A and B are shown apart, each in its own frame.
Chain A
């Protein structure tokens, strides 16, 4: 199916102003941190991420590299295991990188207990709503004009494009790096059902502190849960009917002799 423009953001103020009304639909999260670490944070190993660069004192992970040059740390990505809602904050606080810059993204994968909740997220209004409410969050948290979140919110980043391509993205079962082919994953919300069974938000950059990162991830979880509550409606049935005249159409053949 063709890539679509963003939908229109929906109003979540009733829920986001009163967060105890938000009952969770998300049941698990996975977080990909990017940046520089002095050493591999045990028990994990930093993996390669070609988009991370320019971190002084940190050597980008390269395939086959067993350890960095003397005096250098490791630059790359640290993906979390699947984390429950009561344990992801501690994981972020513990394993946050020592160094980050504007090239470092923070991708959040959200898992759901049912296929229905995932399906309800397959709506162009969701990424539009996420962008809208993160504009407000960034303003409320006084992130200055040079913060890397703003170009992403304006749609200026190739890594989180402001389009919706859910129907094609769910069919992807491998990670490719094209930012242009139909169904590529570089959108604000990437529907990575085929690969991880999750909805991935690629909007967020790494934050200056782990505390701010936790705040951003909490906001994303609340926005998504609130969206699912606000858009809950009885599912419509779609019917395809073939009707035909049971007598058919007669043919008459006349033979003259």
Chain B
């Protein structure tokens, strides 16, 4: 089946700083809705670095405690600048703590609707930094998707066929990974 865009993030330098626009597949936002039990938080209450141009409050779906930590990127690429990410730092800069990449913006309410959600982080960024951040987002977004969302279909077959050697047991067959 054809690949579908899951997380699309656009970075652009503007007069005030760095504009971040995120557009999610509805399935991503559904995941966070389901984990939040419907609760949301105004970003301005937890961080001051995300500014909404239209002065419309930015909201994020809440997350359970087990997601309030850093997650390592398994098998990072040799040139990866960031090998771990966080989902619990809304309103903070794109790099937080001990070099964790801040992917919290994928929790934004409404990011799967229309053109997504935009916010600006004040500060200065060179063109090289923008490219570096974009590559980091690709890597940590992929890590997040594989860890939490990648669909796995498991078919269990109970068979009376006799396996080689005459003993019972089970055999797992993976078709791709």
Contacts and interface: CB of A to CB of B under 8 A. Distances in A.
Contact of B153 (A116, A242, A248): A248
A119 interface: yes
A257 B160 contact: yes
Contacts of B27: 246
B169 interface: yes
A66 interface: no
Interface residues of A, number: 36
Contacts of A242: 5-8, 138, 141-142, 145
Nearest to A237: B12
Contacts of B127: 122-123, 236
B156 A255 contact: yes
B168 A170 contact: no
A170 B152 contact: no
B13 interface: yes
B45 interface: no
Contacts of B131: 238
B contacts with A: majority SS: mixed
Contacts, number: 163
A247 B1 contact: yes
Which of A191, A243, A244 has its CB near the most chain B CB atoms (within 10 A)?
A244
A contacts with B: majority SS: mixed
Interface stretch (B36-44, B65-73, B83-91, B118-126): B118-126
B59 to A, nearest CB: 22
Given A170-B124, A254-B171, A238 B5 contact: no
B70 to A, nearest CB: 19
Interface of B: 1-17, 25, 27, 122-132, 134-135, 137-138, 141-142, 145, 150-163, 168-177
18 contacts: A115-B16, A115-B123, A123-B126, A235-B14, A236-B12, A238-B12, A239-B8, A240-B137, A241-B138, A242-B8, A242-B142, A243-B5, A246-B25, A246-B27, A248-B150, A250-B176, A255-B156, A256-B161
9 closest cross-chain pairs (CB), A and B: A248-B151, A240-B137, A122-B126, A243-B3, A255-B170, A250-B153, A249-B176, A242-B141, A242-B7
Interface of A: 1, 114-116, 118-119, 122-123, 166-167, 170, 191, 193, 235-257
